[in-house]
Structure 1
Amino acid sequence: MEIRLARNYGFCFGVKRAIKIAEESPNSVTFGPLIHNKNEIERLKKSFNVGLVEEIDEIEENGRVIVRTHGIPKDMLQTLKQKHVEVVDATCPFVTKPQEIVEQMSNEGYSVVIFGDINHPEIKGVMSYAKDPVVVLGVEELRQHLPKLKERVATVAQTTRKFEEYQKIVNFLMEHKKEVRVFNTICNATFENQDAARELSCEADVMIIIGGKNSSNTKQLYNICKENCPDSYLIENEEELDPSWFRGKKVCGITAGASTPDWIIEQVIEKIKKIGV
């Protein structure tokens, strides 16, 4: 069985930056999971004593706290900075940008529409910088909110959403509102990984997508692959591989989410090689 890697996969700029920050900040804690990959979080804990807290009250004074890549709500960041702790901000610059945009647009009197998952930590952070934002995942949902929107609307997208779906949101707004300010905040790495996964899944008999089950961008990769290759599987590590997936297959394609470290990808490849033999 031939194994092919997607031409783009794995760690994005923001995740690489956050991991480097964490490795250079031993004996600290992250406020919320640094990235959406529990295996990498466990490695940081074991190798660098970088812990994890979910509530501000859990953070000890005179310590060091790292803000996760997805960012946190504005009021939480302000509360952190008021505590007697060293704050190291590992928020991805591509996440900080939509925060800045919606704050500016809100201050200028625009209604703000955010395309994304309202329960995702990135979106919770972005929402906190806008006044009464509308968060939607599709046109039908947006249609319900249309009456409350002003004639001047600004829109941003979650960094890991599909560009085609964002276009539908934008087109709908332009049909119904007089002024629409559109900011393409989807990350380039997301585009590149998705295009590469789409291309490879058309050639493969079986696709393995490696990444956190709670990772938005990894789930997007899985959905794209599944459209072209019915035998597509999302796993977090090599232990989840099932030998039956590869029986009778000639080409195995592999891609990985933006929070998936190389060491996990290598372990998966090695096990697939053994299964193939």
Structure 2
Amino acid sequence: MEIKMAKNYGFCFGVKRAIQIAEKTKDSITLGPLIHNPKEISRLEMKFGVKVQEDTRAIKNGQNIIIRTHGIPKNDLEYLKNKEIQITDATCPYVTKPQQIVELMSKEGYQIIIFGDKAHPEVKGVMSYSQTEPIVIGSFEELKQTKIKKKVALVSQTTKQAQDLLEISSYLITHCYETRIFNTICNATFDNQESARELSKEVDIMIVVGGKTSSNTKQLLNIALQNCPKSYLVEDENDLIPEWFIDKNLCGITAGASTPDWIIDKVKKKILEIEESLKI
């Protein structure tokens, strides 16, 4: 069985930057997981003493705080700035952009529509910058059931699929008097998704490596499944099941933006070991 890697996969710019910040800021605290990959979070804690704290109000004076890549709500950031702590902002610039857009557009009287997952920390952060109550929609079908005004501004969670954003944008253009559309999907997300789409058309089995709570990783899995029904999401090599690879000739591998190379390498090595065992 041959293994083929996606053209683009793994760590994006924002995640690389956040990891480098965490490694340089030893014995620090992140508000929520720095990235959505529990294995990498564990590595940072064991090797660099970087701990996770979910409750902003539990932060004490004198601590070193890192803002996660997904950002945090505006009121939480303002609370931290009023304490005697060292703050290092690791919010991805691609996430900061929709925050700024939402703040500006809401001040100018636009109804804010966010295409994203309402429970996701990135979306919660973006929502907090709106001066008026924003609308969060998870799909085109959800938008059609929503009452919208004549003057709207649309942004997207950075990890959404471009074709879904296009469908939503087209609907708003034809149903609103004025529509401001901002493509806030991350370039790396788009490249990874397109690479996964291309590779999944070629292979017998597709392995997507990444955190199971990672939005962009789940998007990669959904894309792969459209072309390759034998597509699976694994967090590390321990999630691989040998039976998946029986009678398979070509295995594709891609990985989410929060997946480090050391995990991808272990997955690839394990697949090769499984292939050898199946020959016996």
Compute the TM-score of the two structures, normalised by the length of structure 1: 0.98
SS of 1:212 mapped into structure 2: coil
Partner residue in 2 for 1:142: 143
Partner residue in 2 for 1:250: 249
Map Cα deviations across residues 232-256 of structure 1 (whole Å, 9 max, x no partner): 1100000111111111100010000
Map Cα deviations across residues 19-78 of structure 1 (whole Å, 9 max, x no partner): 001001001110110000000000000110001100023222101010100000000000
Partner residue in 2 for 1:189: 188
User: Shift of residue 138 of structure 1?
Assistant: 1.9
1:175-214 correspondence to structure 2 within 5 Å:
175-214=174-213
Matches of 2:43 and 2:231, distance apart in 1: 27
Partner residue in 1 for 2:111: 111
Matches of 2:137 and 2:106, distance apart in 1: 17
| AA at the equivalent of 1:86 | Q
Compute the TM-score of the two structures, normalised by the length of structure 2: 0.97
SS of 1:145 mapped into structure 2: coil
Matches of 1:144 and 1:201, distance apart in 2: 33
| AA at the equivalent of 2:248 | K
1:16-165 correspondence to structure 2 within 5 Å:
16-130=16-130, 131-146=132-147, 149-165=148-164
User: Shift of residue 168 of structure 1?
Assistant: 1.2
User: Shift of residue 137 of structure 1?
Assistant: 1.3
Query: How many residue pairs align between the two structures?
Result: 275
* Alignment RMSD (CA, Å): 0.8
Matches of 2:163 and 2:224, distance apart in 1: 16
Structure 1's unaligned 5+ residue stretches are: none
User: Shift of residue 107 of structure 1?
Assistant: 0.6
Map Cα deviations across residues 82-104 of structure 1 (whole Å, 9 max, x no partner): 11111111000000000000100
Matches of 1:25 and 1:185, distance apart in 2: 29
SS of 1:7 mapped into structure 2: coil
Matches of 1:209 and 1:145, distance apart in 2: 34
User: Shift of residue 140 of structure 1?
Assistant: 2.8
User: Shift of residue 145 of structure 1?
Assistant: 2.5
